[in-house]
A and B are shown apart, each in its own frame.
Chain A
Amino acid sequence: MSTYFFRKRFKAPFNLLQRLGPARSSQFRGYTGSPNHKWSDKQLHEAKKPLHSKSWISYAVPAALVVIAGGAMFVHHNDKKRAILKGSSQRTGSERNIRGLGPVIGGPFKLIDTDCNSVTDRDLRGNWTLIYFGYTSSPDVGPEEVKKMAKAIDILESEQNPNIKPVFISIDPERDSPSHLRAYLEEFDTRIIGLTGSISAIRQTAQEYRIYFKKFDEEGGDYLIETSHKMYLMNPDMELVRCFGVEYDAEQLCEEILNEVKGVASSDK
């Protein structure tokens, strides 16, 4: 996944680099010093001729560097921005265009539940799912969101509405072991399915679901995690339907969820 992104993202600047390669290669040699260097001495020699004869090349080199640096910064900035905003952008405008047209959010995962059973995205298919990405050491927002989730499930159930499975996926697998996650969630609602996993499995899942998270304020073994605290409503095919931020309360959340579920049900008829 990540190598794919890497290739895709850097293809453009890299092509550019190859085009301007001969002019740059002399700089490269200094860093790499590798015998398997892409550009042979012959190429280098040929390249040196236009370097002297055509002065524009001397502008092209710094220009290319600026383009590459700019590109890298843009990619980085865009990533950061997308990680937070991609989901919330779904709220405005064409709310139901996400399936197919919007960015692909979600994907396969393999995590473990609080009883250490393996759970994949396939196991969640067939039901509407409300997924919250959080961590149990969250000082205030995390517990508030889980409380909201539990309340929403109560409301939905009291209105005799389709089974919506609440799922908590930990973004702190280092501390949130299955047993601890169970103890934490039991204080809120035993119906919430807690998922955690290896660091790499969680990282991959978070990437697929565009969940931004970052450790900060590390002191000794303790730290907090900066994250956007998003809740996702997934349809029975595990496709993202809506993304909810902390600004929704339990009642609003239920209303929106019901609109989606009923909307789909009525359009199916």
Chain B
Amino acid sequence: MGWLSFSGAAANTEPKQTSDGGLIAPDRSERSQCWEGRDGFFRCLDKAGIVDSVKEDAKARAACAEELRAFEKVCKDSWVTYFKKRRVMEIQRDATIKKLSAEGAQGMEVTNEVTGASAMRGK
């Protein structure tokens, strides 16, 4: 019974197989559900002043327990981890840009492309 309930809970994240051996990735509605779950969790993190919910896992779980549970329910584990890390990277990138422009740095197209390509490079 314990095993059954475990597999029931994991069914959401367990990829289904296609008849020709492929693995079904989340479709459009599952993706948007996942993004909504992510946004809800991140809004809570913003309120709680938490940037890195991987490093500050305990704190994030305490402050945003419900949102995190909802997020984890609608997204694959790998996506949850990815979005958590990407949040940190984006916040850091924005902070760096802000800092540089406050120091009077001029934007350059090349710089823009380089940072855009490497920092924005998602998965």
Contact = CB atoms under 8 A, between A and B. Distances in A.
B9 to A, nearest CB: 15
B24 interface: yes
Nearest to B31: A143
Interface string B88-123: 000000000000000000000010110011101111
A9 interface: no
B77 A180 contact: no
Given A88-B117, A217-B81, A175 B23 contact: yes
Nearest to A220: B77
Contacts of B24: 180, 183
Interface residues of B, number: 35
Contact of A141 (B28, B118, B123): B123
B74 to A, nearest CB: 12
Interface residues of A, number: 38
A140 B122 contact: yes
Contact of B78 (A84, A181, A219, A226): A219
Instruction: Please indicate which of the listed interface residues A137, A139, A181 has the most CB atoms of chain B within 10 Å of its own CB.
Output: A139
Contacts of A139: 31, 34, 75, 78-79, 82-83, 122-123
A13 interface: no
13 contacts: A88-B117, A139-B31, A139-B75, A139-B123, A140-B35, A141-B122, A141-B123, A174-B23, A179-B22, A187-B27, A224-B78, A224-B123, A228-B121
